[in-house]
């Protein structure tokens, strides 16, 4: 079980994703350009936060490499999106299709690790991974339809990811508080 006093870093990433998801759903017209710019910046920051969290918890968390990989994926995608805004607008469905597929794969592997380590929310992680993988594959198979609905799909994907990350951070907080209480009893 991951025990860290820095659980709030994951909460911040989750809240950033939830905010971004609701923003995209509320303003779909400006959502596409905003998604490229603000989404890229948010993705970069959240990837950096996740990578820092993975490094901080690497001694107590056996699956830290998966979180580091996800953080680095977020950072790489953000840089690609920001450096090629015109090309990004054209290829956005494919970019998010691959992001959804890779994120889904990461989460599926993490859910197995979480189940083996008795995390309460491992099923939520598995479901989020399967949904992310499914959305990624659907976007990849039907990019024209995805262009028409991409803003809503991406907004929902960010909200789901943010919700999962927030739940995960609370589980880390609970484990940390439990370990403190147990060490105080000794």
Q: What is the mean pLDDT of the chain?
A: 82
pLDDT the model gives residue 134: 92
Q: How is the chain split into domains, by residue range?
A: 8-181
Residue 107 clears pLDDT 60, i.e. is over it: yes
pLDDT the model gives residue 91: 77
DSSP conformational letter for 53: H
Residue 17 clears pLDDT 70, i.e. is over it: yes
Residue 78 clears pLDDT 80, i.e. is over it: yes
φ and ψ at residue 59, rounded to 5 degrees: -80, -25
Q: Tell me what the mean pLDDT of segment 14-38 comes to.
A: 79
Contact status, residue 39 vs residue 20, Cβ threshold 8 Å: yes
pLDDT the model gives residue 37: 81
CA distance 172 to 61: 11
Judged by average pLDDT, the poorest of 11-20, 23-32, 107-116 is 23-32
Residue 105 clears pLDDT 90, i.e. is over it: yes
Query: For the chain, what's the residue count?
Result: 186
Q: At 186, is the pLDDT very low, low, confident or very high (cuts 50, 70, 90)?
A: low
Residue 102 clears pLDDT 60, i.e. is over it: yes
Residue 23 clears pLDDT 90, i.e. is over it: no
User: Hey, CA dihedral for 71, 102, 144, 88, is it positive or negative?
Assistant: positive
pLDDT the model gives residue 2: 60
- Which H/E stretch holds residue 73? helix 64-83
> What is the C-alpha R_g of the chain?
17
Residue 130 clears pLDDT 90, i.e. is over it: yes
Give per-residue pLDDT as tens, 143-167.
777 766 777 777 888 888 888 888 8
- Judged by DSSP in three states, 29 sits in helix
Show the tokens assigned to 94: 């494919």
Q: Cβ–Cβ contacts within 10 Å for residue 59, how many?
A: 8
């Amino acid at each position: 079980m991951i025990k860290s006093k820095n659980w709030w870093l994951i909460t911040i990433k989750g809240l950033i994703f939830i905010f971004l998801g609701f923003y995209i759903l509320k303003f779909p017209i400006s959502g596409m350009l905003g998604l490229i710019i603000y989404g890229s910046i948010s993705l970069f920051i959240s990837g950096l936060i996740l990578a820092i969290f993975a490094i901080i918890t690497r001694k107590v968390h056996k699956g830290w490499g998966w979180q580091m990989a996800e953080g680095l994926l977020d950072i790489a995608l953000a840089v690609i999106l920001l450096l090629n805004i015109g090309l990004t607008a054209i290829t956005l469905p494919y970019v998010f299709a691959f992001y959804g597929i890779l994120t889904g794969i990461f989460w599926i592997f993490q859910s197995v690790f979480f189940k083996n380590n008795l995390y309460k929310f491992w099923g939520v992680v598995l479901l989020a991974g399967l949904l992310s993988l499914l959305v990624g594959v659907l976007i990849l198979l039907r990019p024209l339809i995805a262009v028409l609905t991409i803003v809503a799909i991406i907004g929902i994907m960010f909200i789901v990811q943010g919700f999962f990350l927030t739940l995960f951070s609370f589980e880390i907080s609970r484990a940390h508080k439990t370990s403190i209480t147990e060490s105080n009893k000794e």
